[in-house]
Amino acid sequence: MEFSERLKQLREEKNWTQGDLAERLNIGRSTIGDYEYGRKLPRYERLKEIADVFNISVDYLLNRTNEKRSIEDLKKEIESTTPDLETIILRTKPLFRGKEITEEQARRANKVLEALFDEENKPS
C-alpha cells in the first residue's frame, strides 16, 4: 500500500473530509488531495505532523510496518509490561548490523539467552 492509500484510509476511518484533515494540519485541502492522489509527498516534518494527528507511527504511513501505534505508545507498553526480548523484537523490528531481525532470529536469540541464564543459575 502506498503512502497516498494509507493517508486516505486513515482519514476515512476518522470520517474526516480532506478539508477536515487539512484544517487539523493547517494546510490547504488541495495539498491533502495531492497527497492522496500521489501527486506530492510530504516533507519529513509534515509526515511527523500527519502521524501525530492520527497518533500513529511515520513507519506506518510509509508502509514500513502494519503496526499503527506510535513509537511512544509502543515504548509505554514495553515499559509497563516488561515483555521478554523475543516479544520486543517481534513488535519493534529492530536492526542488527543494519539488517532487520527476523522472527526466527528473535526466537533463536531468545533461546541463547535462556541457555545463558540457565547456566548462570545452576547450583555450584
The pLDDT of residue 93 is 72
Work out whether the CA dihedral 101, 106, 112, 118 comes out positive or negative. Answer: positive
Average pLDDT, the chain: 85
23-58 burial string, b = 16+ CB within 10 Å, else e?
ebbebeeebbebbbeeeeebeeeeeeebbeebebbb
* Cβ neighbours, 10 Å, residue 81: 9
The pLDDT of residue 8 is 96
Domain at 3-68: CATH architecture: Orthogonal Bundle (1.10)
> Which amino acid is residue 19, in one-letter code?
G
Percent of the chain scored above 70 by pLDDT? Answer: 90
> What are 100's three cell numbers?
532487520
E strands, the chain, are: 95-96, 99-100
The rounded distance, in Å, linking the Cα atoms of 94 and 96 is: 7
Among 7-21, 53-67, 73-87, the minimum mean pLDDT is found in 73-87
- The enclosing H or E element of 49 equals helix 44-54
Q: Is the pTM of this model over 0.75?
A: no
